[in-house]
Structure 1
Amino acid sequence: MSSPQSHHFPFSAVVGADGPEGPDPMALALILTTIAPDVGGVLVRGEKGTAKSTIVRALAAVLPPVDDRPVPLVELPIGATEDRVTGSINLESALAEGKAEYEPGLLAKAHRGILYVDEVNLLHDHLVDLLLDAAAMGRATVERDGVSMTHEARFVLVGTMNPEEGELRPQLLDRFGLTVEVAAPRDPALRAEVVRRRMAYDADPAGFAARYAAAEEALQARIAAARGLVGEVRLTDAGLLKIAEVCAAFDVDGLRADIVTARTALAHAAWSGRSQVTLDDIRVAARLALPHRRRRKPFDAPGLDEDLLDQVLGDDELPPEPPEPEGPDDDGPGNDGPGNDGPGNSTEGSDDSTGESDDSTVESSQTSVESSQTPVESSPGGGSSVAGTGPAYRTRLLSVRGVGTGTAGRRSRARTSNGRRVGATTPDRQGGSGGAIHLTETIRAAARHQVARGRTEGRLLLEPADLRVAVREGRESNLVLFCVDASGSMAARRRMEQVKTAVLSLLLDAYQRRDKVGLVTFRGTGAEVALPPTHSVDAAAQRLEDLPSGGRTPLAEGLLEAAHLLAVERTRDPQRRALLVVVTDGRATAGADAVVRSRLAAGLLAEAGIASVVVDCESGPMRMGLAATLAAHLGAEHVPIGEVSAEALVDVTRRAA
């Protein structure tokens, strides 16, 4: 098989794609969604270095050609603008000839091919919505810059992501037809084989590809045969009822899961060369289509209960399709033959009316999330203890004042590459981030110079200095860093449970708004980063579960650890604005010159311009006012409170923002 993609790493050479019992779940999911594109695409979740991108890029080479040309593989960068995705007016044609002509975007280029988005969880939500809508509808509509048109956009959408870098919102996760979790093999022999093949490919790509040419051609032929057969595969009423029983047993929302499972089962039957769906087809389809749809709470573990699946499916195979009654005019119930809307035929449009959810639904479900952690009482003798976490609750919007330039999100006002257009500027003042051409302002800038440029008639005379790009205002994500006193006095008053509940609640809010939240704790003789800045609520829950408290109060170490962490984050992402929340009574009792060192550390944070607030946890009739002094050295707002409740803590951060 010869094509421009033939020297890509072969699909069949990926370890797991050529197993003796068939492809592994990742390879199988990709194959099934190419056999039946109405399955809805694939989301591959896994740690870095698990060949996610390699196998996706290799997929196009084994797909049957389209009109005697290789299947297009279009990669969408996470920094793409909406103009680049959907297309827009052709600027050269508009300025030179006065014609408003449409210039196709990436959706049009991916037609009848594969649209691949690496790190799809980092793509802005409105672009993910746009991609999923186009993939479900099979067409894209453009309404912008004087262009109004609809074009075909039938493609297989494949997204890959590392969950450690943040999750997709549940609404978007549900819109992917299939989802697979991948991890590096733990078997040393398999790991060695992966390295062996990769080194052989790097040494001689052409020779390596030639060794797998026969396997690639056989795979391409099998996919082509399955595509031809899938429309003839029968899904009986008994099979459809079994799918409904499985989806009901796993308590999935809506009917999208039922539809996707049915389509996937049909595709798997065709891939296996069968003309009727079996229990094995339904089992495979359920494993790929259901796990991500039953995760309605961010802290639910991924995966599917195999015992429950086996129990629902049972041991008895599906009964065969009964013979159709004789008679030319029979069109009775259960007749899903050609020309009817039975389960084995097209269900076009059914996705658009079922299984939808919105932000309000998700937010309401998340307000009732309760942590599985239970309080652990202090051990005898005053040792460290692990506080539990109360029920997480919904938080109101926390936003930073002013207009930032941070990463696109859903919280504070910011200049971003998306959002509403609020003005125009020159590209150099845009900060090199590009941006859509502002046609009106470009023409206006050029118009005033036409006489000086000698124009009397004809096309507009343009120069580079005339170019204007749109300035858009949207929303950015932020970093809220808690620096929490986890010493013995805090544990004795059960404040850690309240603080952890507040952080957990803010993490749920950050999950929706694409924020980062971090946690630094200090106790005993030092400080540690208990929760590195993260988007992942799963990782956050795991770190918070074992957060200990007890011992002396190394306040200086806590402040210095927070300063170091914020400096690192500012280097990684200089545009993301941060708010430091220090939760302490102001005491510094660990080490020599503890008070002096804590004031010096506070001064460093103040000089760095870190916006901060001190939540004063001191209580009792005799108060020393140490937290107020600390706030003065930090240049922070001082908030004295008698009890550090989770709700009070969140209200403080909102007022300071």
Structure 2
Amino acid sequence: MRPYPFTAVVGMAELRLALLLCTISPSIGGVLVRGEKGTAKSTMVRALAGLLPDVDVVDGCRFSCDPEAPDPSCPDGPHRTVSSSQRPARLVELPVGAAEERVVGSLDLERALRDGVTDFQPGLLAGAHRGMLYVDEVNLLHDHLVDTLLDAAAMGRVTVEREGASVSHAARFVLIGTMNPEEGELRPQLLDRFGLTVEVSSSRDAAERVEVVRRRLAYESDPDAFAAGYADDDASLAAEIAAARKLLPSVELTDEALLQIAEVCAAFEVDGMRADIVTARTAVAHAAWCGRTTVSTEDIRVAARLALPHRRRRNPFDAPGIDSEQLEQALQDAQPPEDDPDGDGPDGDGPDDGGEGDPEGPDDGGPDDSGPDDSGPDGGPGGGAPDENPQHEPRNPQHEPPGPQHGDADAGSQDGAAPRTEQRAGTDTPYRAKLFTVDGAGSGADGRRSRSEGERGRIVGVRPDGTRSGSPHLVATLRAAARHRPQRGPRADGAGPVVLPRDLRFARREGKEGNLVLLCVDASGSMGSKARIREVKTAVLSLLLDAYQRRDKVGLVTFRASEAEVALPPTGSVDVAAARLEQLPTGGRTPLAEGLTRAAEVLRVEALRDGDRRPLLVVVTDGRATSGPEALARAHTAADGLARTGVSTVVMDCETGRMRLGLAKTLAGRLGAEHVAVGDVAAEKLTDEVKRRAA
């Protein structure tokens, strides 16, 4: 079945342009595509493969060496006499769950033991050399693979060290990743390795959505006929890419243009110099795409909108994006008074302007800017174009939502009725949470917090005889075979002991795992002052920030009035968390039983989804239950049920005043939890206690 044509994708002008610019100038460094599910991210990236120009390779080289400059350390080299041929450029897909050996390559251990030679089998990174590497859901990639990508992207080489053997080969590729921000953010180190970033969203225009569905259904009905209808458009676009690549070396980047780029990057306070370099390369590529030989202000404007949004974030709570007014001001400040290359002002509609929204260049052919979407796991229809200039202002964690602020008392409200009082407390500036770990060794997802044993990490020993899991341990295998040498005799060539399959020993590896911290917070009026719930919310944000850095999950269940709700499903997405916690209301009665029941349900569902991730439940309450008759008895019954699950729990007692009922201490006893008496829910005390008690 022929793939969906690139020129048949509907809308998506900004993404289309970013991908084409990276195709014209691979040195830009790739594209990160951020957007909700079902927005044609994967469809467009996979369709790009048909537009990539052919590459010349050395015949018989598994590592795609360039015949003009073959890699002197190529494992298939040295290439003394070079014969070459052409092959299509590759777009290699890296699965999120791929093993490290599949990504970087592996050594044939059996042949090494039998023949004494190093036989290296190339991995996905070798296949992507001089092409493109595509990672769908790149934000879900395991940390050890992220580290591998970082090394390869920075050095342009892959070095594989296995059992005393070392192999190195070139791996220069354009990295393309797609992600849904709701599923978690990307590590800053890898984020910066993407040259450009694009935010995509589904179209709200009914006519455009109809066209998406129409084309998708036509493609599914007869893929070959549908693709044939766009073959000429794809061929024409490929020819324009080839012409732009040929023009690229002739494009002049003047000192005035460099000054504008520097002014823009300085105005947005980006870190390092990579932003300046990528912006310059992108501006040159855009000029070549538009058929110009000199970089103009419009080229810099387009380049800045693509290269800077993900580099101006100061912390994970800031949403990506740039201010268009600030961009225009920076461009004007650096522009010589007599120079006005745009002609028509900041919109850049001059006669030579290819335009940000014109990725097909000066010869846009109409149908080239359309197509469907099946980027979701079910391949369902979707798609649409992002805004021409999507802007996202960074959130201010200290901002308090407008509106009247009420008191905290909840006495006197009727069961099932809306609470008489409600308030919305903001948050203070989140702080760096101290490290806490879970005792013992788990086998959860890769992280940076607790000790784990699994397939990744440093070798700390050898598994017992008969345990055949993990990667083979060469030294232990040879040692096991050597014990039987007197009975088996020497090898035929006399090079060493005879090794049989039963001699294989497998490495025991120790690494780090991520955990789930679920906070069950009493948000009722009995919690007291607005300042107290503000500190609780600040603590949750701080734990979430720490979880983002350590690859944990954090969830939040709140209970107030007559019900409990999951205010924050277990996640690592700090953007979503900051927005939801900011709007968390407080006040009303205390449905403690409902809160514990909802927390137990969240833990049960998460255990089905990710049973290896060990949880810690933190209940923040004063122990009161005021949501109907026998509310306290129902709360104790819910606590008994939680205790039977064996989940590690901490109860943070928020009861204050001279006359204390000790209800939270009783609750802790039923939960089998440690009771922590605190006069106030101080954010520092909360995180310190979680660190100390996590087990």
Compute the TM-score of the two structures, normalised by the length of structure 2: 0.81
Give 1:125 deviation, angstroms: 3.4
Whole-angstrom distance in 2 between the partners of 1:52 and 1:137: 28
What is the rounded CA distance, in whole Å, between the counterparts of 2:466 and 2:235 in structure 1?
Answer: 50
Between the aligned partners of 2:579 and 2:466, the Cα distance in structure 1 is 44
Alignment correspondent of 1:329: none
Deviations 1:126-161 (A, max 9, x none): 432432332343322333322234311121111111
Aligned residue type for 2:33:
V
For residue 428 of structure 2, what is the aligned residue in structure 1?
A: 390
**Counterpart-to-counterpart distance in 2, 1:427 and 1:51:** 50
- Distance change in 2, residues 1:31/1:133 (3 Å): farther
Deviations 1:405-431 (A, max 9, x none): 00001111112432211233389957x
C-alpha displacement of 1:462: 5.8
Correspondence for 2:380: none
Paired residue for 1:517? Answer: 554
| Structure 1 residues 69 and 580, CA gap change in structure 2 (3 angstroms) | same
Aligned counterpart for 2:459 among listed residues 421, 435, 438:
421
Check conservation: 2:408, 2:525, Cα contact below 8 A.
no
Structure 1, 105-114 or 397-406: larger mean CA deviation:
105-114
Structure 1 segment 222-237 matched on structure 2, within 5 A: 222-237=240-255
CA–CA distance in 1 between the matches of 2:464 and 2:6?
Answer: 45
Deviation, structure 1 residue 438? 2.5
CA distance in structure 2 between the aligned counterparts of 1:647 and 1:487, rounded to whole angstroms: 22
Q: CA deviation at 1:487?
A: 1.2
Where 1:253 maps in the other structure, the secondary structure is coil
Residue identity in the other structure for 2:566: V
Partner Cα separation in structure 2 for residue 640 and residue 172 of structure 1: 42
Deviation, structure 1 residue 447:
5.0
Verify the 8 A CA contact 1:482 1:581 in the aligned structure 2: yes
> What secondary structure, in the 3-state scheme, does the structure 2 residue paired with 1:167 have?
coil
Q: Deviation of residue 629 (structure 1)?
A: 0.9
- The CA distance in 2 between the partners of 1:298 and 1:516, in whole Å, is 15
Q: Which runs of 5+ in 2 are unaligned?
A: 57-85, 342-394, 410-419
Name the CA shift for 1:71/1:248 in 2 (closer, same or farther; >3 Å). Answer: same
CA distance 1:435–1:177, change in 2 (3 Å): farther
Deviates more, 1:83-92 or 1:482-491: 83-92
Pairwise CA RMSD: 2.5
Does the aligned pair in 2 maintain the 1:415–1:474 contact within 8 Å?
yes
Compared CA separation, residues 655 and 108, structure 1 to 2 (3 A): same
Match in the other structure for 1:58: 47
Post-superposition shift, 1:465?
4.6
Query: 5 Å matches for 1:223-622?
Result: 223-314=241-332, 370-373=397-400, 377-379=405-407, 383-425=421-463, 435-446=470-481, 448=483, 457=492, 465-492=502-529, 494-622=531-659
Quick check: 1:638 aligned with 2:627? no
On the 8 A contact 1:426/1:467 being kept in 2, the answer is no
2:16, 2:284 → 1: CA distance? 17
| Counterpart residue type for residue 32 of structure 1 | L
Q: Deviations over 1:594-643 (max 9, x none)?
A: 12211111111111111001111112111111111111110000111111
Cα shift at 1:91: 1.9
CA distance in structure 2 between the aligned counterparts of 1:379 and 1:624, rounded to whole angstroms: 23
Is the contact between residue 408 and residue 416 of structure 1 (CA under 8 Å) also seen in structure 2? no
Q: Indicate the residue corresponding to 1:628 in structure 2.
A: 665
Displacement of 1:449? 5.8
1:138–1:452 Cα change, 3 Å: same
Question: Which residue in 1 is equivalent to 2:135?
Answer: 117
Between the two proteins, the alignment pairs up a number of residues equal to 596
Sort the Cα spacing of 1:14 and 1:369 in 2 relative to 1 into closer, same or farther, 3 A: closer
2:125 pairs with 1:107: yes
What is the distance in 2 between the residues matched to 1:633 and 1:219? 69
2:22 aligns to what? 33
Contact 1:523 1:550 in 2 (8 A): yes
| Matching residue of 1:344 | none
SS at match of 1:567: helix
Shift in CA distance, 427/524, structure 1 to aligned 2, threshold 3 Å: farther
Does the 8 Å contact 1:238/1:319 carry over to 2?
Answer: no
Determine which of 168, 191, 216 is the counterpart of 1:150. 168
Q: How big is the shift at 1:473?
A: 1.1
1:268: Cα distance to partner? 0.9
Secondary structure of 1:159 counterpart: strand
Rate the CA distance shift 1:445–1:135 in 2: closer, same or farther, 3 A: same
| 2:87 aligned counterpart, secondary structure | coil
Q: Find the aligned partners of 1:291 and 1:620 in 2 and give their Cα distance.
A: 50
Closer/same/farther in 2, CA of residues 380 and 651 from structure 1, 3 Å limit: closer
Structure 1 residue matching 2:199: 3-state secondary structure: strand
Instruction: Confirm or deny: 8 A CA contact 1:76 1:117 kept in the other structure.
Output: yes
Q: Give the superposition deviation at 1:463.
A: 5.6
1:366-397 CA deviation, whole Å, 9 max, x = no partner? xx985323696325985111112122111111
Q: Which moved more, 1:470-479 or 1:397-406?
A: 470-479
Cα distance between partner residues in 1 of 2:208 and 2:480: 62
Matched, 1:77 2:77: no
TM-score normalised by the chain length of structure 1: 0.86
- Deviation string, structure 1 residues 323-381 (Cα, Å, up to 9, x no partner): xxxxxxxxxxxxxxxxxxxxxxxxxxxxxxxxxxxxxxxxxxxxx98532369632598
The aligned residue for residue 328 of structure 1 is none
Gaps of 5+ in 1: 1-5, 18-23, 321-367
Alpha-carbon separation, structure 2, partners of 1:196 and 1:317: 50
Question: Is contact 1:81-1:435 (8 Å) kept?
Answer: no
Secondary structure (helix, strand or coil) at the match of 1:383 reads coil
Task: Give the direction of change, closer, same or farther, for the CA distance of 1:319–1:630 in structure 2 (3 Å limit).
Answer: closer
| Higher RCO (C-alpha under 8 Å, 6+ residues apart) | 2
2:692 alignment partner in structure 1: 655
Deviations 1:471-499 (A, max 9, x none): 22111111111111111121436321111
Give the Cα separation in 1 of the matches to 2:113 and 2:465: 18
C-alpha contact (below 8 Å) 1:90/1:100 kept by paired residues: yes
Percent of pairs identical after alignment? 63
Q: What displacement does 1:317 show?
A: 8.3
Instruction: Indicate conservation of the 8 Å contact 1:424/1:471, yes or no.
Output: yes
User: Which SS does the other structure have where 1:158 is aligned?
Assistant: strand
Distance 1:160 1:220 in 2: 23
C-alpha distance 523-112 of structure 1, shift in aligned 2 (>3 A): same
The equivalent of 2:74 in structure 1 is none
Q: 2:3 aligns with which of 8, 13, 26?
A: 8
Query: How far apart, CA to CA, are the structure 2 residues paired with 1:493 and 1:373?
Result: 12
Aligned with residue 35 of structure 2, among 14, 29, 46: 46
